[in-house]
Amino acid sequence: MTQQLALITGASSGIGATYATQLAARGSNLILVARDAARLQQLAQSIRDAHGVEVKVLAADLTQPDALARIDRELQDNPQITMLVNNAGMTVDGGFVTADIAQTQTMLTLNVVALTQLAYTAAQAFRSRGAGTIVNIASVLALVNENANGAYNATKAYVLSLTRNMQRELADSGLRIQAVLPGLTRTEIFQRTGRSIDDLPAHMVMEVEDLVAAALRGLDAGEPITIPSVEDMGLWQTFEQSRSAILPFISLSQPASRYRQQ
Return the pLDDT at 29.
98
* Average pLDDT taken over every residue of the chain: 93
Q: Rounded to an integer, what distance in angstroms lies between the CA atom of residue 78 and that of residue 248?
A: 43
Return the pLDDT at 205.
79
Task: Name the residue ranges covered by the structural domains of the chain.
Answer: 5-233
Predicted TM-score (pTM) of the model is 0.93
Which residues have C-beta within 8 Å of that of residue 185, sequence separation ≥ 6?
A: 14, 15, 205, 206, 207, 208, 211
Q: Per CATH, which fold does 5-233 belong to?
A: Rossmann fold (3.40.50)
Residues in the chain, pLDDT under 70: 1-2, 184-196, 199-201, 204, 262
Return the pLDDT at 54.
98
> Regarding beta strands 29-34 and 132-137, do their DSSP bridges make them parallel or antiparallel, or are they unpaired?
unpaired
Which residues have C-beta within 8 Å of that of residue 171, sequence separation ≥ 6?
A: none
Q: Rounded to an integer, what distance in angstroms lies between the CA atom of residue 20 and that of residue 31?
A: 9
For 155-209, the pLDDT digits (tens) are 999 999 999 999 999 999 999 999 999 976 666 665 555 566 776 667 767 789 9
